[in-house]
Amino acid sequence: MHPIIHHRSDRHGRAATMTTAKPVLYSLASAALVFLLSAGNARAAAAQPAVQPLPALGAELSELTVSGISSGAYMAVQFQVAHSKLVRGAGVLAGGPYDCAEGSIRRALTACMSPSWWAAVPSVAELRAQAEALAKAGRIDPLEGLRDDRVWLFSGGKDSVVDTVVMERLAAFYGQWIAPTAIRFVRLPDAGHAMISVADPQANACSSEQSPFINRCGEFDAAGEILQHLLGPLQPPAATAKGEPLRFDQSPFVEGKPIDAGLADEAYVYVPQACLSSVCRVHVAFHGCRQAAAQIDRRFVDGAGYNRWADSNRIIVLYPQVQPRYGLASGSWQWLNNPFGCWDWWGYTGSDYATQGGVQIKAVRAMLERLAAPRQH
């Protein structure tokens, strides 16, 4: 789930050097592998139900919550802070402080993932000043909107990708507005960089850092822990998820082509049967790098663990999707490199990526508005 970030200039105009979180060699062989994987994904998609429009369900957004793992964790934080008036809580697994990268590739890969003496994680004062400047400019909601939020934070003791100190700085950032009793920081010594779930029967070992980045650590249920902390007491999860995730078209929610926003043409939403006829809450689950449907099909959607809780607690779960991209894409002349399918937390889609003007944040906000629209009879 290590993000690969390629050459561009950051928001301050500084030139950034092509680099990777782990060294990657591009060759004809790797290109051929990408082609074969794409062909396999196309065959898998052909076997799925037909894509449909995202339904209007009259959903209740007053208790909207979000969560994510890795790049999805960074996106969950970005979405929460950008829309702090709307979001009531966030679950963050192996992410970091809001806009930690400041549009800089080097900063993302060093200070915001593996800080050191020469690339320290930004101070709370720096992070707060930066966020307050964006709020003052009207690019994000006023930060006072965080005061009634709850957050659930997670760091694995064997996570080699995002250091625990980065998560500790996120906790301190939140602590500027959120009461200590509303912040829960969980540390699991044996866990690697992954979603920790009891719902995937083929989950990896607890310390694994391999695809699909869904691990089993005994009976630890991250999705359940997140939802219960953010929403309060819940009914026990269903023994098995009873519904079928709906595959929907993401393109109506994006200005231009989804691929030029780093997004897939299609995404998923899990709608419990009860939510087809009654008002339900919404939770947005952001997958991590290498966890998009184009890479692991529905493993994250089905196996992250949210759906069983959704069934018994009337929660709609939105699973927006990123699309891996290697420079140019078919039908597009825009150059955008995101080969691991990460959410944008360093600026590959533009300098607005962490604000309400960010193309990915705008798209997810529009999806939520659609879910909240009155049902069409």
Q: What angle do CA 245, 62, 305 make, to 5 degrees?
A: 35
3-state SS assignment for residue 312: helix
Annotated active-site residue in 6, 10, 70, 83: 70
Clarify whether 193 is annotated catalytic.
Answer: yes
What is the C-alpha to C-alpha distance for residues 212 and 262, in angstroms, rounded to an integer? 20
For residue 6, indicate whether it is catalytic: no
Q: Calculate Rg over the CA atoms of the chain.
A: 19
Secondary structure class of 268 (helix, strand, coil): strand
Question: Could you say which of 99, 159, 311, 352 is catalytic?
Answer: 159
Give the DSSP letter of residue 165. Answer: H
Q: What φ, ψ does residue 285 adopt, rounded to 5°? A: -110, 115
The bridge status of strand 315-319 relative to strand 266-270 is: antiparallel
3-state secondary structure of 62: coil
Q: Cα(258)–Cα(57) distance, rounded to whole angstroms?
A: 23
CA 342/CA 66 separation, integer angstroms: 17
190 is catalytic: no
Look-up of token digits 């105009």: 13
375, two tokens: 């049902």
> Is cis: bond before 212, omega within 30 of 0?
yes
Active site residues: 70, 159, 193
